[in-house]
Amino acid sequence: MVPSKPEEVVTVDVSQAKTLLLSDHQYLDVRTEEEFRRGHCVAPKILNVPYMLSTPQGRVKNPNFLDQVSSLLSPTDDILVGCQSGARSLNATSELVAAGYKKVRNIGGGYLAWVDQSFPINKEQQQSAN
């Protein structure tokens, strides 16, 4: 058996990502639930599976990340992975590629780049003080 080399992670910019999301790609947001609730990209198909979890000791890798993703998405699905700035999504994409996901891409710049382009976002409504 030939040792496998790390698969190349494909990164797309947010403009490409926006176009792909409108053409039936699944958006996998790997930020924490708190970050997701504060605001996320508008996409027809969006899931939030945190790659890192917030704990009293700081952030730790979600030990169930692959299991959670595989319960929601197939290795043959077209998937775009995004986070806040592009670092966690790059790690998550790399892990998914290594696990056999064939059509997964990282979104370079993440949510911050999406916001910088003034692309549409969803924010959960905050309770008003009125």
What domains can be seen in the chain, in order of their start residue? 21-120 (3.40.250.10)
Report the catalytic residues: 83
pLDDT at 3: 40
Average per-residue pLDDT for the chain: 90
pLDDT for position 8: 82
Kindly tell me if the per-residue pLDDT of 130 is higher than 50. Answer: no
Asked whether the predicted pLDDT for residue 82 surpasses 70, the reply is yes
Quote the tokens at residue 117. Answer: 């382009």
> Would you state the pLDDT for residue 7?
61
pLDDT surpasses 90 at 1: no
Q: Looking at residues 30-46, what average pLDDT do you find?
A: 94
- pLDDT at residue number 63: 96
Position 25 scores a pLDDT of 96
- Residue 124 is predicted with a pLDDT of 73
CA distance 7 to 97: 7
Strands (E), 8-107: 10-12, 26-29, 40-41, 46-48, 52-55, 58-61, 79-82, 104-107
pTM over 0.85: yes
